[in-house]
Amino acid sequence: GDSVTQMEGPVTLSEEAFLTINCTYTATGYPSLFWYVQYPGEGLQLLLKATKADDKGSNKGFEATYRKETTSFHLEKGSVQVSDSAVYFCALSDLDDYKLSFGAGTTVTVRA
């Protein structure tokens, strides 16, 4: 079945550092790919998404490119802030039943 493998955390960074969280997937066909973010005490919210190969999703300085040849959707941000401290989830939508398959989540802490 479809699955997502996400870089393990936790990740601790200093402010203005470069962040990358690796995400690779296994799927038949062409799923849609998502990054969700969960801030402390809240539910998940969509950070960005891409629906076809070579699409780049971007939001709040974060970017991720749908790479079919490497089955990857790595999340990057050039200069993180303390407010970026959160748990980040990579996910794909199953082509058969449209359910989301989530990665295990990566906890990111940004120190001032």
Instruction: Draw the binding track, 21-50, toward another protein (x: CB under 8 A; -: no contact).
Output: ----------xx-x-x-x--xxxxxx--x-
- Return d(Cα 102, Cα 69) in angstroms, integer: 21
Q: Which is nearer to another protein, 44 or 110 (CB)?
A: 44
Q: Does 77 bind another protein (CB under 8 A)?
A: no
Q: Which is nearer to another protein, 49 or 112 (CB)?
A: 49
Q: Six-digit token pair at 77? A: 């941000």
Q: Which is nearer to another protein, 43 or 69 (CB)?
A: 43
Q: Which stretch binds another protein (CB under 8 A): 15-23, 60-68, 70-78, 85-93?
A: 85-93
**CA end-to-end span of the chain, whole Å?**
41
CB-CB contact of 1 with 97 (8 Å): no
Q: Does 58 bind another protein (CB under 8 A)?
A: no
> Binding residue for another protein (CB under 8 A) from 12, 51, 59, 81?
51
- Return d(Cα 58, Cα 1) in angstroms, integer: 28
* % helix, strand, coil for the chain, step of 5: 5, 50, 45
